[in-house]
Amino acid sequence: MPTEPNVILLVEDNLAHAEIVIRSFQEHHIASHIVHVLDGEAALDYLLHRGQFTETANNPRPRVILLDLRLPKISGLQLLHEIKTHESLFSIPVVILTTSEAEQDLTLAYANHANSYLVKPVDFTKFSQLIDDLGLYWLDWNRQPLN
């Protein structure tokens, strides 16, 4: 069992989608801490403790990263590549959470070692249920190394 809180790094530029994700996790008491950033550059800063995220005690390593593909500054696929090729980050599970059903995006995500690829449902209830199930799987049921 991990001793650190269930930290999720949510990389999502759509504020409405981010709000649904955050509220779902809060309502179901799945994550104890959600860090929301709006672009790939801020996510990389968080993960590498750069810029506003230099204080490692206040910015713990996430148990899972929820990553949208269409992001400003650094795209989701570029960020995924950076994470999965960085020695200190590659073991963090990355779940693609996107509106894209494009086969090319799916193929590129798995080619860059995404751990899961989920398409956001349009229906609010289904989206909320997806987030609940996702949280239970990655933060409760799934086992992963502590570092």
Q: Is the backbone of residue 90 left (phi > 0), alpha (psi -120 to 50) or beta? A: alpha
For residue 146, being part of any structural domain is answered with no
More confident residue, 23 or 28: 23
Q: Is 142 contained in some domain?
A: no
Q: Is residue 60 part of a domain?
A: yes
4-30 exposure pattern, b = at least 16 Cβ within 10 A, e = fewer: eebbbbbbbbeeebbebbbebbeeeeb
Any idea what the CATH number is for the domain that residue 46 is in? 3.40.50.2300
Looking at the domain assignment, is residue 101 inside a domain? yes
Tell me, yes or no, whether 102 lies in a domain. yes
Q: For residue 77, give Cα distances in angstroms to 44, 92, 104, 147.
A: 12, 15, 11, 23
- Residue 128: which pLDDT band, with cuts at 50, 70 and 90? confident
Closest CA to 113 of 135, 91, 134: 91
Residue pLDDT, tens place only, 57-95: 888 899 999 999 999 999 999 999 999 999 999 999 999
Domain that holds residue 69: 7-137
Name the band, by pLDDT with cuts 50, 70 and 90, for residue 56.
confident
Looking at the domain assignment, is residue 129 inside a domain?
yes
Domains of the chain: total: 1
Helix (H, G, I), strand (E, B) or coil at 64: strand
Is residue 145 a part of any domain in this protein? no
Return the percentage of the chain with pLDDT > 70, whole number: 93
Query: Is 30 part of a structural domain of the chain?
Result: yes
Q: Is the pLDDT of residue 31 over 70?
A: no
Residues in the chain: 147
- Mean pLDDT, residues 119-134: 87
The predicted structure's pLDDT at residue 103: 96
Closest CA to 134 of 24, 56, 4: 24
* Residue 3's pLDDT band (cuts 50, 70, 90): very low
